[in-house]
Chains A and B, each alone.
Chain A
């Protein structure tokens, strides 16, 4: 399921540089080599066991039992938690919101990031300074990104409020984060600000590594301008763009820190994304059983929505 998707996504994001044939040319490994390989891989396998298998067993067990924070696995309840979660409007809304949020944010980041990467590529002034500055939002801790955008959206003297008042005197107060419709867009904007640079970097690198000979050949054939872009450049970076979209999608599905700092899931439940709902169920309401169930449901949603994107990635690569 999800892991398989990721494996393929991974392959799409990091296509092998060394031609496959040099790898297939290999002697039969000796015993000591195989021993070494197993030794080398042991820490990674151990990490997987500790980090994936152990928590997964815990989550699955918690989902099937009545479990509180301090007293997990009280009694086996079968699918009761799933029934509760699936019929709960809070859970349904949260999963819907999370999916919509993830796609919206990923699409915005990918579109803006690709545009910026193309602009950088077409611009002579894309020096080290520009690249460094574009890196900065990505390395700011999300907690600080949340604080920063809360300041900007603050209804009492925030950047946005001040600017609006300055240009349209007498207008009312703009409090984006306490508006049920707009709060999620406020969080999304902070998210897009933070992670779009990643897309820029990925796409820009792909653009730079185009084979100049192909472009030259196309130019000799009379291709120019938009045509060149449409038929040569874009197909060459399309795989990267979709892969970047996928990474961005998964990051957005997991968003927690920003919501925690900026809106606490509110107003009402209008920014209660799945990660926040899970956190609240487990650590505020002490209901680990439900929290584990929502985690598993989220896993299903993430898997289902990423499969088509993965298929696109694969097709783009195989073309």
Chain B
């Protein structure tokens, strides 16, 4: 074959090695080593090509090195921007190049990938492999991350929920002792801080508003989760023009002009940079932001000046509700000629031991818990107690995007309409979401 991928070696900083040793001992103690032994040598000398999104580069390097050590299989990691992973995988499979054996796309694209034959069902494998321990996956994550209709296509990789990070110094300066519990309080605090400090370049919040489902879509989904809304009802019919959804969009609009300028251009880079520079009081982000915030080497100026809490809700006292905004699943490519090895790899990569090790690995991998057992992992609990607490919100219930065929386009249409409304191209939130509703009915109900 004419693949010229090279393996990417993880950077072997001192901390990296230390984390590795830790992870290895965890494997031995937890019995995960046994799973490795089961197929050790069986595929030795073979190659496995995996396609990941660029923000999983660190995790990919870690996995490649670890898997090679345990099994003698060479793992080649290719990374592409997060919004290209599904199209790259599809083109690879459709053209017949079939370079990739394994990938980890956004769970929302599973339905489209399955419909095009770009990924293959693994139901049988999962049912025949009790070690996978399906019941240990966090229930709210398992369903959307694994299933397309009744077939299993994916294993949860990166739980990826958002939490609300706040800058304690900015809050104190403006007389707020507590982070907000409701979206209304949040809006008030954002507004106050921006009014007080925007002349010094400090804003109430960085709001991810760039027109991408994973960015603006996530900001909306965080609010929809808080207001108790849903994308689909229990019969799978769209309910995107519900009162909760309208309230969510209006909540986003309310802070739009008080956020770091300008939300429509705020992508991960712009928002995170403002957070690390200490220029924003709030940011909704993945929990690994906390790990980076404590790391002055990565340019953080907010070490020990931040806190993290659940995403706000509609009214005080409600249980926290997670919003599965990003979230990635391990999948086996449709035309791989090494499905057996690919399945072994994803089972290993989705295991408790690996997930737990990735949670606390340094440099940070950005991976969130996918299992009950890794969520309760002791190292995680002692290193990052706040993050663990926040991630526990997935136990109470979670809002997941629609999956299944056309789900990617549905997410895109919603994002477009949200952006159109927020930039003043639509008359009312209700009307905007009515449009989305009718488009979704066309796309998702057939």
Q: Does B336 contact A (CB under 8 A)?
A: no
* Contact string against B for A residues 149-186, beta-carbon threshold 8 Å, 1 for contact and 0 otherwise: 00000111000000000000000010101111000000
Asked if residues B117 and A178 are in contact (CB atoms below 8 Å), the reply is no
Q: Does A267 contact B (CB under 8 A)?
A: yes
Q: Would you list 25 pairs from A and B whose C-beta atoms are within 8 A, ordered by A residue?
A: A68-B115, A69-B91, A69-B116, A70-B94, A70-B117, A156-B270, A173-B261, A175-B261, A178-B262, A178-B263, A178-B264, A264-B210, A266-B210, A266-B211, A266-B264, A266-B423, A267-B423, A268-B416, A270-B425, A284-B87, A284-B412, A286-B87, A286-B116, A286-B409, A287-B409
State how many angstroms separate the Cβ of B405 from the closest Cβ of chain A: 9
Tally of chain B residues near chain A (CB < 8 A) = 36
In the bound complex, residues from chain B placing their C-beta under 8 Å from that of A71 are 94, 115-117
State how many angstroms separate the Cβ of B7 from the closest Cβ of chain A: 27
Asked if residues B94 and A285 are in contact (CB atoms below 8 Å), the reply is no
Kindly report which residue of chain A lies nearest to residue B274, judged by CB atoms.
Answer: A156
Please judge, given known A-B contacts A265-B211, A286-B408, A287-B409, whether A70 and B116 are in contact too, CB under 8 Å.
yes
In the bound complex, residues from chain B placing their C-beta under 8 Å from that of A179 are 423
Asked if residues A284 and B116 are in contact (CB atoms below 8 Å), the reply is no
State how many angstroms separate the Cβ of B226 from the closest Cβ of chain A: 24
In the bound complex, residues from chain A placing their C-beta under 8 Å from that of B87 are 69, 283-284, 286
Given A156-B261, A270-B425, A284-B83, 10 more pairs with CB closer than 8 A? A70-B90, A70-B115, A156-B260, A178-B265, A264-B212, A266-B210, A269-B416, A283-B87, A284-B408, A284-B412
* Contact string against B for A residues 66-105, beta-carbon threshold 8 Å, 1 for contact and 0 otherwise: 0011111000000000000000000000000000000000
Q: Does B317 contact A (CB under 8 A)?
A: no
A266 to B87, CA, bound (A): 21
Quick one: which of A71, A267, A287 has the most chain B CB within 10 A? A267
Neighbour of B423 across the interface among A72, A154, A270, CB < 8 A: A270
State how many angstroms separate the Cβ of A4 from the closest Cβ of chain B: 33
Asked if residues B116 and A68 are in contact (CB atoms below 8 Å), the reply is yes
A266 to B211, CA, bound (A): 7
A285 to B413, CA, bound (A): 9
* Contact string against A for B residues 346-377, beta-carbon threshold 8 Å, 1 for contact and 0 otherwise: 00000000000000000000000000000000
Neighbour of B262 across the interface among A72, A175, A264, A287, CB < 8 A: A175
Kindly report which residue of chain B lies nearest to residue A173, judged by CB atoms.
Answer: B261
State how many angstroms separate the Cβ of A238 from the closest Cβ of chain B: 41
A287 to B115, CA, bound (A): 12
Asked if residues B115 and A268 are in contact (CB atoms below 8 Å), the reply is no
Q: Does B78 contact A (CB under 8 A)?
A: no
Asked if residues A264 and B211 are in contact (CB atoms below 8 Å), the reply is yes
Kindly report which residue of chain B lies nearest to residue A153, judged by CB atoms.
Answer: B265
A173 to B113, CA, bound (A): 42
Count CB-based A-B contacts (< 8 Å).
93
Please judge, given known A-B contacts A267-B211, A268-B420, A268-B425, whether A69 and B261 are in contact too, CB under 8 Å.
no
Q: Does B230 contact A (CB under 8 A)?
A: no
In the bound complex, residues from chain B placing their C-beta under 8 Å from that of A72 are 94
Quick one: which of B83, B94, B260, B262 has the most chain A CB within 10 A? B262
Q: Does A317 contact B (CB under 8 A)?
A: no
* Contact string against A for B residues 129-146, beta-carbon threshold 8 Å, 1 for contact and 0 otherwise: 000000000000000000
- Interface majority SS (helix, strand, loop, mixed), chain B: helix
Please judge, given known A-B contacts A70-B93, A155-B265, A178-B264, whether A286 and B112 are in contact too, CB under 8 Å.
yes
State how many angstroms separate the Cβ of B118 from the closest Cβ of chain A: 5
A34 to B83, CA, bound (A): 53
Q: Does B31 contact A (CB under 8 A)?
A: no
In the bound complex, residues from chain B placing their C-beta under 8 Å from that of A267 are 211, 264, 419-420, 422-423
Asked if residues B423 and A69 are in contact (CB atoms below 8 Å), the reply is no
In the bound complex, residues from chain B placing their C-beta under 8 Å from that of A180 are 423-425
* Contact string against A for B residues 169-197, beta-carbon threshold 8 Å, 1 for contact and 0 otherwise: 00000000000000000000000000000
In the bound complex, residues from chain A placing their C-beta under 8 Å from that of B425 are 180, 268-270
Q: Does A280 contact B (CB under 8 A)?
A: yes
Please judge, given known A-B contacts A180-B423, A264-B212, whether A70 and B113 are in contact too, CB under 8 Å.
yes
Quick one: which of A70, A267, A283, A287 has the most chain B CB within 10 A? A70
A70 to B274, CA, bound (A): 39
In the bound complex, residues from chain B placing their C-beta under 8 Å from that of A155 are 261-262, 265
In the bound complex, residues from chain A placing their C-beta under 8 Å from that of B419 are 266-268
Asked if residues B94 and A69 are in contact (CB atoms below 8 Å), the reply is yes
Which 3 A-B pairs give the minimum distances between C-beta atoms? A70-B116, A178-B264, A268-B420
In the bound complex, residues from chain A placing their C-beta under 8 Å from that of B274 are 156
Kindly report which residue of chain A lies nearest to residue B118, judged by CB atoms.
Answer: A70
In the bound complex, residues from chain A placing their C-beta under 8 Å from that of B86 are 286
Quick one: which of A175, A180, A264, A286 has the most chain B CB within 10 A? A286
Asked if residues A269 and B420 are in contact (CB atoms below 8 Å), the reply is yes
A276 to B320, CA, bound (A): 39
Asked if residues A285 and B420 are in contact (CB atoms below 8 Å), the reply is no
Kindly report which residue of chain A lies nearest to residue B334, judged by CB atoms.
Answer: A70
In the bound complex, residues from chain A placing their C-beta under 8 Å from that of B112 are 68, 286
A280 to B94, CA, bound (A): 18
A287 to B93, CA, bound (A): 16
In the bound complex, residues from chain A placing their C-beta under 8 Å from that of B94 are 69-72
State how many angstroms separate the Cβ of B143 from the closest Cβ of chain A: 23
In the bound complex, residues from chain A placing their C-beta under 8 Å from that of B115 are 68, 70-71
In the bound complex, residues from chain A placing their C-beta under 8 Å from that of B211 are 264-268
A266 to B201, CA, bound (A): 25
* Contact string against B for A residues 279-296, beta-carbon threshold 8 Å, 1 for contact and 0 otherwise: 010011111000000000
A175 to B423, CA, bound (A): 12
State how many angstroms separate the Cβ of A282 from the closest Cβ of chain B: 8
In the bound complex, residues from chain B placing their C-beta under 8 Å from that of A269 are 416, 420, 425
A264 to B84, CA, bound (A): 13
CB-CB contacts below 8 Å: A186-213 with B: none
Please judge, given known A-B contacts A68-B115, A267-B211, A268-B423, whether A286 and B412 are in contact too, CB under 8 Å.
no
A265 to B91, CA, bound (A): 23
CB-CB contacts below 8 Å: A249-264 with B: 264
In the bound complex, residues from chain B placing their C-beta under 8 Å from that of A173 are 261-262
CB-CB contacts below 8 Å: A287-314 with B: 287
In the bound complex, residues from chain A placing their C-beta under 8 Å from that of B113 are 70
State how many angstroms separate the Cβ of A277 from the closest Cβ of chain B: 11
A175 to B211, CA, bound (A): 15
Quick one: which of A178, A264, A270 has the most chain B CB within 10 A? A178
Asked if residues B412 and A69 are in contact (CB atoms below 8 Å), the reply is no
In the bound complex, residues from chain A placing their C-beta under 8 Å from that of B423 are 178-180, 266-268, 270
A71 to B260, CA, bound (A): 42
CB-CB contacts below 8 Å: B108-129 with A: 112-113, 115-118
Please judge, given known A-B contacts A68-B112, A70-B94, A286-B90, whether A175 and B118 are in contact too, CB under 8 Å.
no
Kindly report which residue of chain A lies nearest to residue B266, judged by CB atoms.
Answer: A178
In the bound complex, residues from chain B placing their C-beta under 8 Å from that of A265 are 211
A268 to B422, CA, bound (A): 8
